[in-house]
Amino acid sequence: MAILVLGGAGYIGSHTVYELIDQGEDVVIVDNLETGHIEAVHPKARFYEGDIRNRSFIDSVFDQESIEAVIHFAANSLVGESMTNPLKYYDNNLCGTKVLLESMVAHGIDKIVFSSTAATYGEPERVPILESDKTNPTNTYGETKLSMEKMFKWTGLAHGLRFVSLRYFNACGAHASGNIGEAHNPETHLIPLILQVPNGKREAISIYGTDYETKDGTCVRDYIHVTDLAQAHIKALNYLRAGNASDIFNLGNGVGFTVKEVIEAAREVTGHPIPAKVEGRRAGDPATLIASSEKARTVLGWNPEHADLKEIISSAWNWHKNHPNGYAN
Ligand code: UDP
């Protein structure tokens, strides 16, 4: 039987497909290619281009393929856009997941691993953040992801579906092969934006705020390598295969780095001076987000292997320097 990866042409989805195939899994990908890239589709996966909001399309995939479980990455994920166009996020993320779940229930498919986010917490009450902490999203993106988690919960209670929701902190880095990496348009994430400077695409990196209550005044984030995230999805799949109950797990390294520390590490990795300019705070940015991933480590047996910041940035740089225009070249 195959694993269906929704959004398998996107950043984290494509890296998860590479790991699944490395581990001998049979993989089917669905992606509407709105933000995914055909070049990121693994050559050994069977690819169906289409949209999860289209019931007859998603039914046809389940009819043609023998699907054991679903890994669900198919969503819009830009925080800023989710604030200016919230209904796009309700439509794709929530309505899409509703259609998907209707089709899964109709086809008797009862396992799903879900791509969630630290944005479900909003401004944290304390760090490191535990899965049991309050969820109070400060943007539409996080709100839709939290609602999707709840949709799995109630659908599971009614129809016997089990889910694992993985709340990622700051995904970064790229696959060791150099074939796939991060390619968003527009790009809003810190590490790829920093690397645009040594790539000659940007004069300087902007630092959004130096007046936070952190050790150097810039925001602290928990950066986690995309391959470690991918491995966690496989652990979660095996957890569900073993018959375990639905649950939610944070995924991070449990270590925070400031924006200035990330820029300094990128200078060391690239050998480029990377000029930085200080700007005002970006709306909605909490000062510090650090995961407690103890639960994923003890329950799923997950061990992130790429915790070193310079190693993470080196792997990202290996991708970006060879793909300065993303998949376009
Ligand atoms: N950031 C920055 N300059 C940029 C992009 C991001 O200073 O050009 C900061 C941002 O304010 C946040 C951190 O870098 O504190 C990580 O931002 P990113 O968008 O990568 O991830 P987020 O934590 O928002 O999910």
Q: Clarify whether 168 is annotated catalytic.
A: no
Q: How many residues does the chain have?
A: 329
Question: Which residue minimizes the CA distance to atom 4 of ligand 1?
Answer: 190
| 220 CA: nearest ligand 1 atom | 15
Average pLDDT score, the chain: 97
Q: Is 258 in the pocket of ligand 1 (CB under 6 A)?
A: no
User: What's the whole-model pTM score?
Assistant: 0.97
pLDDT, average across residues 235-262: 98
| 279 CA: nearest ligand 1 atom | 7
Instruction: Report how far ligand 1's centroid is from the alpha carbon of 239 (Å).
Output: 32
Q: Is 188 in the pocket of ligand 1 (CB under 6 A)?
A: yes
Q: Is 193 in the pocket of ligand 1 (CB under 6 A)?
A: yes
pLDDT of amino acid 329: 57
End-to-end distance of the chain based on CA atoms, in angstroms? 35
pLDDT one-digit tens code per residue, 107-123: 999 999 999 999 999 99
Instruction: Report how far ligand 1's centroid is from the alpha carbon of 258 (Å).
Output: 10
Which one of 191, 259, 281 would you pick to mutate in the ligand 1 pocket, going by the greatest count of ligand atoms within 8 A of its CB? Answer: 259
Q: Is 260 in the pocket of ligand 1 (CB under 6 A)?
A: no
pLDDT one-digit tens code per residue, 150-209: 999 999 999 999 999 999 999 999 999 999 999 998 899 999 999 999 999 999 999 999
In which band, very low, low, confident or very high, does the pLDDT at 324 lie, cut at 50, 70 and 90? very high
pLDDT of amino acid 23: 97
Of 89, 121, 141, 168, the catalytic one is 141
Q: Is 187 in the pocket of ligand 1 (CB under 6 A)?
A: no
Alpha carbon of residue 242 to chain centroid: 24
Instruction: Report how far ligand 1's centroid is from the alpha carbon of 190 (Å).
Output: 5
- Say what percent of the chain tops pLDDT 70: 100
pLDDT one-digit tens code per residue, 256-292: 999 999 999 999 999 999 999 999 998 878 899 999 9
pLDDT exceeds cutoff 70 at 244: yes
Question: Which residue minimizes the CA distance to atom 12 of ligand 1?
Answer: 219
